[in-house]
Amino acid sequence: MGRPPTDTEPVTIRMDRELLKAIDEYRRNQEDLPSRPEVVRRVMTNWLKDIAAEMPEAGASRDQDD
């Protein structure tokens, strides 16, 4: 089925065949065989969490000389 369309917006993107092959291979290695859109959501969510963890805290100065 899929996620209910509450508080969501559709996003349409084009992907080359190699990227789609990689997504499909990743999907097949997951226990629940997620849809392509679900894989993109999961990967983006994880990536955003990772980069947020690497970013300095909000309000912290980048050039502290203490």
Question: pTM of the predicted model, to two decimals?
Answer: 0.69
* 61, part of any domain: no
* 31, part of any domain: yes
Structural domain for 45, as ranges: 26-53
Query: Count of domains in the chain?
Result: 1
* 14, part of any domain: no
pLDDT mean across residues, the chain = 87
* 17, part of any domain: no
pLDDT, tens digit, for every residue of 30-52? 999 999 999 999 999 999 999 99
Determine the Cα–Cα distance for residues 26 and 35; give it in Å rounded to an integer.
11
What are the Cα distances from residue 66, in Å, to 58, 59, 63?
18, 16, 9
* 49, part of any domain: yes
* 39, part of any domain: yes
* 9, part of any domain: no
pLDDT, tens digit, for every residue of 9-35? 989 999 999 999 999 999 999 999 999
* 37, part of any domain: yes
